[in-house]
Structure 1
């Protein structure tokens, strides 16, 4: 949508700001970009570097943001889940709740869940070498506990999303009439007490060029390859994997977050909207927020990916 920088609304200049470092992809890095994920750990082949960035706090103007322009909104989203670390409770309740919230927010005809993940800014116990872990099936990047993702990215590479959506739609509605539009999105909720020390920053979709982004192929593995040579093996079949988009630094990017998020709020933002005449994707990243000093708490959050369809 934003091949030329758009002018921000004057109300946005009233927001409180904080300055932090966001990690963008550095130029002249490896030609092969991959992200390997396993239990409790995630490793990129790309090289990232910190860029000082102003992030505005949208809390005081939360109703200013729209999906068509900015690509994200902060929602009031009550949940019946009492313990998000209880996988059984989350599986039985949460994805249906999220689909209902997303359907209402987007006014979609159908919403399907594509899985969930917990993330934390705290320490994750190393379970990879435990006897219990070795008896489990191959690692699935679903329903576990992972570190906060601290690089600027969108979880979907644009070129691969139509096929992904078609498969999901056919599985959910095999005799359906088909769809005219789809949105892949993330429904992000923090359930640790506010304020959080490592919240999520989202980039105004209007400030992101349609031609920005570098493909970063996702490899879900039982064990992270130990050497760089293994991680950059050119013989690996990247074409048949899921992929994200990662970003070089662009000073025109406009960044936002919502401080002091409560458990019954959620940040809904687009990964990919098939309608590119509107704000269609939102780069995002965790960041360390020094605004609240010793008052800040470890961030514990849950993210749930969905696909919304219009038939």
Structure 2
């Protein structure tokens, strides 16, 4: 067993601009008008490097962290998927595995709906000039800005989009979005994921940004820098270890309603380290009205 290894890292935050008082922050993931509009821009987001921060290793203390307290948790969970490059294996083997995990490890689960999953690789996107957000087999780079994947308005939009006939009923109960993150190489030696204790984040730290796609408009939160944040990661996370991250929780009584997160670079990377590869699945998790989930 490796001993805990804290890191010092510089993370990327949103830099507040006076422009945002008049123009909402946004990112455009689809080309408008064939790409020929003279003033077209794809984003108005400006990011900045924060101060050097301590990233605390959870090794030997994994059980101290909980979704309702810090906003993240860790579980040992092997998988029977043989090849994460095969879509059928992800959809027919992996997603059912993750549903069983959620039903076993998360309280009050009546219904699970996976609305997205993504493969990420720390490998440059050679030969690609654009990301097709609708192609799930097109891998993405590790996310390198501090963020939360969904805002409350985006959660409502997801429910109306994916579960229109059930949405009104489901909204009367508890609604959560929980992401499950797993390495798909033997061990992560660079660009691990780091998670911020939700109790150290204030609503005023967060800025909502629209995500505009061809078939769906959503939104997420980016974070401004703060000296209150407390960051954690799992050093040398293995393929049989998963991280659960909460993106949203409608329950007003829990401490953690969301989890800021991002990847970061290790100070020292072994010469023979494999590029980080991972899969993240995103689940709407419902507790029906009247269920005593807590």
TM-score (norm. length: structure 2): 0.82
Alpha-carbon separation, structure 2, partners of 1:210 and 1:179: 24
After TM superposition, give the deviation of residue 207 of structure 1 in Å: 0.8
SS at match of 1:22: strand
State the shift of 1:80 in Å.
1.1
CA distance in 2, matches of 1:289, 1:273: 31
Matched, 1:24 2:13: yes
Q: How does 1:88-237 map to 2 (within 5 A)?
A: 88-107=88-107, 108-127=109-128, 140=134, 142-165=136-159, 168-170=162-164, 179-220=172-213
Contact preservation (8 Å) 2:205, 2:225 = no
TM-fit CA distance, 1:299? 0.5
2:37 counterpart residue number: none
RMSD: 2.8
Residue 267 (structure 1) aligned with residue 257 (structure 2): no
Residue 30 of structure 1 deviates from its aligned partner by: 4.3
1:93 is displaced (CA, Å) by 1.7
Task: Name the CA distance, whole Å, in 1 between partners of 2:220 and 2:78.
Answer: 30
Residue 217 (structure 2) aligns with:
241
Aligned to 1:71: 71
Give per-residue Cα distances to partners, 1:85-125, cap 9 Å, x unaligned: 12232222222221221222213111110121111112223
8 Å CA contact 2:170–2:286 kept in 1: the answer is no
Structure-1 residue corresponding to 2:57 = 57
| Aligned match of 1:227 | none
Could you tell me which residue of structure 2 aligns to residue 281 of structure 1? 258
Q: Is the 8 A contact 2:65 2:72 kept in 1?
A: yes
Report if the CA contact (8 A) 1:115-1:143 is conserved.
Answer: no
1:229 is matched with none
Distance 1:189 1:179 in 2: 32
CA distance in 2, matches of 1:45, 1:177: 35
1:185 Cα offset (Å) = 1.4
Q: 1:166 to 1:211 in 2, by over 3 A?
A: farther
The change in CA–CA distance for 1:178 and 1:22 in structure 2 (over 3 A counts) is closer
CA–CA separation in structure 1 for the residues paired with 2:135 and 2:207? 22
In the alignment of these two chains, the number of paired residues is: 270
The correspondence of residues 285-296 of structure 1 with structure 2, limited to 5 A, is 285-294=262-271, 296=273
Alpha-carbon separation, structure 2, partners of 1:178 and 1:153: 25
Distance 1:144 1:263 in 2: 21
Offset, 1:143: 4.0
Contact 1:30–1:46, Cα closer than 8 Å, also in 2: no
Deviations 1:22-48 (A, max 9, x none): 00011226424222347xxxx753111
Q: Distance in 2 between matches of 1:177 and 1:115?
A: 19
Distance in 1 between residues matched to 2:44 and 2:119, nearest whole Å? 23
